[in-house]
Structure 1
Amino acid sequence: MGDGRGAGGGRPAWLQQYDLVGKIGEGTYGLVFLARTKHRRCCIAIKKFKQSKEGDGVSPTAIREIMLLREISHENVVKLVNVHINHADMSLYLAFDYAEHDLYEIIRHHREKLNHQINQYTVKSLLWQLLNGLNYLHSNWIIHRDLKPSNILVMGEGEEHGVVKIADFGLARIYQAPLKPLYENGVVVTIWYRAPELLLGAKHYTSAVDMWAVGCIFAELLTLKPLFQGVEVKATPNPFQLDQLDKIFKVLGHPTPEKWPTLVNLPYWQNDQQHIQGHKYDNPALHSYVHLAQKSPAYDLLSKMLEYDPRKRITAAQALEHEYFRMDPLPGRNALVPSQPGEKAVNYPARPVDTTTDFEGTISVQPSQPVSSGNAVAGSVAAASVVAPRQVPRPMPMVGMQRMPGAGMAAFNIASQAGMGGLNPGNISMQRGAAPAHQQQLRRKDPGMGLQNTGYPQQRRRF
């Protein structure tokens, strides 16, 4: 697949295989578009990266994301379908399977349109699948570092209806033992989902930061609003955010060295005696914020995810084995079907599409047909036909912990990858953003890591 221009110097050749529908997202990295493949009429999400600020023409964030996604494969992780490049402006495009929904839109739909909570089965199924994908990543020494509702996708109609996909790996990193200091990477994780060790300036951190974010997402699924809505001070280059810490302490109480021994070693705990240590928060009330009984399994799991000490915080593997997931309603592969016979399914709207924006982000696209979820094939672009959504739960295949090939995540060259068009933009080394392969050996065993997950709890009773 090349980037040559079509007849008359028009659209790039690779782009001619798609019909653009419109823009579905925008961020610091660039834009995300919805398109359809002309041959199969499958819906595809195309992520366009802005040019690198370093002047080398290709975004290191994009290269990092390509490196990770080409090496990992799991049902609950978004699938990278293809990579395209325009040499004219060195813009890079990543094509993914399209997911009609994300947790942000699902939560907002319940809060603003339906005005009622998400049912227990859906919450449990969404959370279980999120943890299942995260367990796979952590078992392969990958920290996501940007988990939030808008980065947790949910497939719409098709064979994968109701399946969760972890997306947006622009901030993801490989970590290994001995741990390298990661604070030099700058601020990570959107502030409302940022773990307290990050806010207090930890120079070393682990996959526990992802589990804190999952706890925040869990609480948001239960209450339909963010648990810790701090106001971010963007002018400061350091990670310390007093208002965010204030919001956390009001809900969870004041951390203490007795419960979190390494707390005293964190830079901003030591340096901000007046604000942090001087203001006492004596009445933690997490249960009242999330409306859960303190002795309930749901509250127990949530409180273990929001444990201050990252060394004591529950891991994804441990969370999957928690009692919460072994009680009715049991979690299922399709999170969007009714949990009880006769119960009406929620008709979630697809993510909004701006049909006035083209791939350049400036001019109107050609008139197109309205987006119909019935035309979307949730799965590989090679899928031959649309699969109707299932209205009843169905058996879930065993979801085993797949491991990446080899002992580590070896660096690769774009030109060597099938389907990449033989393109290596600017001959850039694909080792950027990742540790050398010889440093990526699994040399240490974290609690819960590498455990085999045998599928949904008591799966014979569900579907």
Structure 2
Amino acid sequence: MVFEYAEHDFLQIIHHHSQQERKPIPEFTIKSFLWQLLNGVAYLHANWVLHRDLKPANILVTADGVVKIGDLGLARIYERPLQPLFNGDKVVVTIWYRAPELLLGSRHYTKAIDIWAVGCIFAELLTLRPIFKGEEAKMDNKKNVPFQKNQLNKIFDVLGKPTKEQWATIEQQPEYPNLASFRSSPNRLREFYNNSCSSNSDAGFALLSAMLEYDPVKRITAEDALLHPYFSEEPKPSMDSFEGQHYQYPLRAVKSEDNDMKVPPTANSAVQGQGGTTHGGTRGKHGHSGKDEGRPSKRGRV
């Protein structure tokens, strides 16, 4: 299989700014990244697909600033599944981006888990570091899923311990009894945003809060997030996330699989000379991809 090549990814860009530039990612670029990512997620959800592993390393960016969602290895159709999604994959989403309902053992989850991950990615773009950087407890030899106390601690440190008023069905979560060992704590997200984030936008804080809502029923959807006032403020997002900026990001490291090496290249190879492939995803308004869609050269309409 041949996949479209993307020169960059969110994680690489975050590392470039944190380790080399030592400057925040421009607000325009962050907003364009988030807007395009939400368009892709909205497209997936409109087609009843959960990604289930959204994280910076899986969000690709082409040289002309177009965002693409990659690595659909854990993606599943969630419209009338033949069996609960939990039965097939007991652990989904990389730990730092895993929604609280998953950490509390929910067997029946929704597209809201992807939105939580997007909120974590948004915070990481703003701060250049993961917002909830916990340590994952590993499965035992019997493949039992352990209680992720450390990761929940990291979340509670920022958002406070959830209450029944915040999350009406929290007592129904399988791991709820384990929360008795946690002390009550206040929500410090505003403090985190003011002290750690490169943006001072109140609308940006409101959108981040809506994405990191404890109750998955109350958590904002991708469609509603695209209509949020944050995207109507200047600078407005664009289909070219790099428009007007001077940064020269290094190319992504590309590896060739052993099987790929056995196939001789042809003159018509789609990714000839790139040394490997990447998993392309979705882009643009509701996530469509491809040059034939007429990518606007100026800032996109929201």
**TM-score by structure 2 length?**
0.82
2:218 aligned with 1:332: no
C-alpha distance in 2 between matches for 1:358 and 1:295: 44
- Structure 2 residue identity aligned to 1:169: L
Residue of 122, 141, 146 corresponding to 1:218: 122
Change (3 A) 1:321 1:294: same
C-alpha distance in 2 between matches for 1:309 and 1:242: 19
Task: Tell me the equivalent position of 2:16.
Answer: 109
C-alpha distance in 2 between matches for 1:308 and 1:100: 35
Count, aligned residues? 271
CA offsets 1:321-347 (integer angstroms, 9 cap, x no match)? 000000000000010122xxxxx5110
Task: Tell me the equivalent position of 2:205.
Answer: 299
CA offsets 1:156-187 (integer angstroms, 9 cap, x no match)? 1xxxx110000001100001148952211210
Measured after TM superposition, the shift of residue 289 of structure 1 is 2.2
C-alpha distance in 1 between matches for 2:146 and 2:163: 20
Task: Tell me the equivalent position of 2:76.
Answer: 173
**Secondary structure of 1:153 counterpart:** strand
Task: Tell me the equivalent position of 2:269.
Answer: none
Measured after TM superposition, the shift of residue 288 of structure 1 is 2.4
C-alpha distance in 2 between matches for 1:264 and 1:206: 18
Residue of 98, 110, 113 corresponding to 1:206: 110
Task: Tell me the equivalent position of 1:394.
Answer: none
Contact 2:28 2:237 in 1 (8 A): yes
C-alpha distance in 2 between matches for 1:362 and 1:178: 38
Task: Tell me the equivalent position of 1:399.
Answer: 285
Change (3 A) 1:362 1:172: same
**Secondary structure of 2:3 counterpart:** strand
Measured after TM superposition, the shift of residue 258 of structure 1 is 1.5
Residue of 294, 301, 319 corresponding to 2:225: 319
Residue of 154, 168, 174 corresponding to 1:267: 174
Q: State the superposition RMSD in angstroms.
A: 2.9
C-alpha distance in 2 between matches for 1:358 and 1:137: 28
Residue of 67, 70, 80 corresponding to 1:164: 67
Contact 1:142 1:174 in 2 (8 A): yes
Measured after TM superposition, the shift of residue 290 of structure 1 is 3.0
2:38 aligned with 1:131: yes
Structure with the larger strand share: 1
Contact 1:250 1:281 in 2 (8 A): no
**Secondary structure of 1:260 counterpart:** coil
C-alpha distance in 1 between matches for 2:91 and 2:151: 14
Change (3 A) 1:206 1:179: farther
Contact 1:146 1:188 in 2 (8 A): yes
Task: Tell me the equivalent position of 1:348.
Answer: 249
The list of structure 1 runs, each at least 4 consecutive aligned residues, that deviate by more than 4 angstroms after superposition, is 177-180, 292-295, 360-363
Measured after TM superposition, the shift of residue 239 of structure 1 is 5.3
- Structure 1 residue identity aligned to 2:246: A
Measured after TM superposition, the shift of residue 358 of structure 1 is 6.3
Change (3 A) 1:401 1:132: closer
CA offsets 1:347-376 (integer angstroms, 9 cap, x no match)? 01101246xx7625999xx9xxxxxxxx87
C-alpha distance in 2 between matches for 1:301 and 1:278: 31
**TM-score by structure 1 length?**
0.54
Higher RCO (C-alpha under 8 Å, 6+ residues apart): 2
Change (3 A) 1:179 1:207: farther
- Structure 2 residue identity aligned to 1:126: F
**Correspondence 1:117-156 to 2 at 5 A:** 117-156=24-63
Change (3 A) 1:215 1:95: same
Structure with the larger helix share: 2
Measured after TM superposition, the shift of residue 400 of structure 1 is 5.8
Gaps of 5+ in 1: 1-93, 339-343, 367-374, 377-397, 403-454
Gaps of 5+ in 2: 265-272, 275-283, 289-295
C-alpha distance in 2 between matches for 1:178 and 1:359: 35
Whichever of the two has the greater Rg, that structure is: 1
Contact 1:187 1:239 in 2 (8 A): no
Contact 1:200 1:239 in 2 (8 A): no
